[in-house]
Amino acid sequence: MDVTEVDVAFVKPKDGLIGFASVVLDDQLYLSGIAIHTRLAGSGYRLTYPTRRVGETQFSLFHPIRKPVGFAIERAIVEKVKNVMSKRDVGHGRFDAGSTAF
């Protein structure tokens, strides 16, 4: 399974959350609402997948079942985040306004 598209929407950082990602798998399946957080200990990023609460029960909307798929999604999103961050305009503290499509 290949990650064929990645889009990242950055938010004002709060409690480690820096943005949300959407991915397309094999040009066939669109998944959105994947939260991007800075790692609690050390450098790097971690992902959390969307859930919904119904009463006292929390349901996972989707998440990778197999590790290789999870690693492929994580690798593609982290690569996209690093790519966008490297284009930051250091002189003004702004991001390049270019497209964030992968």
pLDDT in tens, 82-100: 999 887 645 445 444 444 4
pLDDT at 88 (0 to 100): 66
pLDDT in tens, 8-26: 999 999 999 999 999 999 9
pLDDT of 37 above 60: yes
pLDDT at 95 (0 to 100): 47
Residue 21 main-chain phi, psi, to 5 deg: -120, 155
Handedness of CA 18, 54, 28, 26 (dihedral sign): positive
Q: Which of the four pLDDT bands, split at 50, 70 and 90, describes residue 43?
A: confident
pLDDT at 74 (0 to 100): 97
